[in-house]
C-alpha cells in the first residue's frame, strides 16, 4: 500500500533530491508540493519546484506557492550553499504555473481530502505548516504523520552554534509546530550523517540527464565541477533522508519534550530537547537520534534508478 505524501519544500539541492526520491519510490504517491521561502526567495523556490518536475517529466503534480517570508523576521537564505537562484545543475525553464491556492491552504485541503492516508513532509522552514495549523488546528489529528527536516536536538547547529537552518529561518513557526503537531523530527543529529557515497556522485556526473543534475544536487556544485575535482568529502543530503525514512524506517526515534528558542541572541532558533525530563512537560516530539547509513545509501540509490 502506497503512502500519499505532500512535500512542503524550499528547493534547494537536497530538497530536489528528496522530491526526486519521493516521485521515484514505489511506495510513495506524491499528491503535490507546497513551496516556502527558505534556501532562497519564494519566487525562486516555486520556479525551482516546477523546474525539478519538468526535468523529471512529472509536471502533472500541483505546486502551491506558500509564505514568502518568516512569521516575524526578514528572510535569511542560503544561496551561498545551494547556488544562485537556490539550486545547482542544468534545469529546464519551467512552463507550468502554481495553482491558485496558497500553500498553507493547500496543505489543509489535502488533509481534508485524504485524512489519515496522508503524510506531510516539511523539509523547508516550517512557516507554511504552522500557518496551516492555525487555519485548521485539528490538522495533526487529521493526517497519518508529520515529518520534519530540521532542528539540532543533541548536536550543534549549522547556522549558529545552536541553530539548524530551517528552524533558524522561522523560529516562531517552528515553536508552534513542535508544541502542537506531535511530529517526527529528523534533525542534524541524523541528517548530518546521511551522506551519499562519493563514487555514486561521480558516477551520476558522467551520466545523462537527469542524473548529471542529481549529481550537482548531491554535491552542491555543478556536475562539471564534480567531474573535474571529484568528491573528497561526501556531503549530507538532509531532506532526502527524511523522505526515505517515511517508507524505510532508517531513523531510530526517542520521544521528548522539545521547545524552540524564539528570543534574540546567539541561541535564537535552538531546539531545546529535554532528554532528562526536568521540565515535567509532556513528551510531544519523536526525535531522530540514529540513522542506518547503509540502508539510506542503498535505498536512495535504488530508488533514483526508477526515474
pLDDT in tens, 66-82: 999 999 999 999 999 99
Q: What is the DSSP string of the chain?
A: -PEEEEEEE---HHHHHHHHHHHH-TTEEEEEEEE-SSSS-HHHHHHHHHHHHHHTT-TTS-EEE--SS-SSS-----HHHH-GGG--S--PPP-----SS-HHHHHHHHHHHHGGGEEEEE-S-SHHHHHHHHH-TTHHHHSSEEEEE---SSS--SSSSSB-HHHHH-HHHHHHHHHHS--EEE-HHHHTT-B--HHHHHHHHTSPTTHHHHHHHHHTS-HHHHHHH--SSPPB-HHHHHHHHHHH--EEEEEE-EEE--SSSTTTTBEEE-TT--S-----EEEEEEE-HHHHHHHHHHHHTT-
Q: Is the pLDDT of residue 271 over 90?
A: yes
Tell me the mean pLDDT in the region 172-193.
97
pLDDT attached to residue 190: 98
In this structure, CATH architecture of domain 3-195+236-304? Alpha-Beta Complex (3.90)
pLDDT attached to residue 1: 78
Q: Please give the share of the chain, as a percent, with pLDDT higher than 90.
A: 91
For the chain, the average pLDDT equals 96
Tell me the mean pLDDT in the region 278-286.
85
pLDDT band at 232 (very low <50, low <70, confident <90, very high): confident
Residues 86-138 have pLDDT tens digits of: 999 999 999 999 999 999 999 999 999 999 999 999 999 999 999 999 999 99
Look at 200 and 280; give whichever has higher pLDDT.
200
Active site residues: 238
Give the domain ranges of the chain: 3-195+236-304
Q: Is the pLDDT of residue 281 over 90?
A: no
pLDDT attached to residue 225: 87
Amino acid at each position: 500500500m502506497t503512502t500519499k505524501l505532500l512535500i512542503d519544500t524550499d528547493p534547494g539541492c537536497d530538497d530536489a533530491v528528496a522530491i526526486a526520491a519521493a516521485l521515484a519510490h514505489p511506495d510513495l504517491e506524491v499528491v503535490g508540493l507546497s513551496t516556502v521561502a527558505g534556501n532562497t526567495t519564494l519566487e525562486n523556490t516555486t520556479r525551482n519546484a516546477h523546474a525539478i518536475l519538468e526535468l523529471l517529466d512529472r509536471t502533472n503534480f500541483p505546486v502551491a506557492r506558500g509564505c514568502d517570508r518568516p512569521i516575524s523576521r526578514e528572510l535569511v537564505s542560503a544561496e551561498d550553499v545551494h547556488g544562485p537562484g537556490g539550486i545547482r545543475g542544468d534545469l529546464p525553464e519551467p512552463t507550468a504555473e502554481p495553482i491558485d491556492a496558497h500553500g498553507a491552504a493547500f496543505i489543509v485541503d489535502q488533509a481534508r481530502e485524504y485524512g489519515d492516508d496522508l503524510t506531510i513532509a516539511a523539509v523547508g522552514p516550517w512557516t507554511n505548516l504552522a500557518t496551516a495549523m492555525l487555519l485548521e488546528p485539528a490538522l495533526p489529528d487529521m493526517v497519518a504523520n508529520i515529518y520534519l527536516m530540521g532542528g539540532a536536538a543533541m548536536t550543534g547547529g549549522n547556522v549558529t552554534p545552536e541553530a539548524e537552518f530551517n528552524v533558524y529561518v522561522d523560529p516562531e513557526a517552528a515553536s508552534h509546530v513542535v508544541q502542537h503537531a506531535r511530529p517526527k523530527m529528523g534533525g542534524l543529529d541524523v541528517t548530518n550523517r546521511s551522506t551519499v557515497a562519493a563514487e555514486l556522485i561521480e558516477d551520476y556526473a558522467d551520466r545523462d540527464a537527469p542524473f548529471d543534475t542529481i549529481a550537482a544536487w548531491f554535491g552542491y556544485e555543478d556536475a562539471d565541477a564534480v567531474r573535474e575535482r571529484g568528491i573528497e568529502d561526501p556531503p549530507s543530503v538532509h531532506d532526502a533522508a527524511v523522505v526515505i525514512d517515511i517508507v524505510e524506517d532508517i531513523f531510530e526515534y526517542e520521544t521528548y519534550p522539545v521547545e524552540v528558542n524564539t528570543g534574540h541572541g546567539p541561541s535564537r532558533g535552538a531546539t531545546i530537547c529535554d532528554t532528562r525530563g526536568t521540565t515535567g512537560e509532556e513528551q510531544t516530539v519523536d526525535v531522530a537520534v540514529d540513522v542506518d547509513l547503509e540502508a539510506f545509501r542503498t535505498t536512495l540509490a535504488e530508488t533514483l534508478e526508477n526515474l
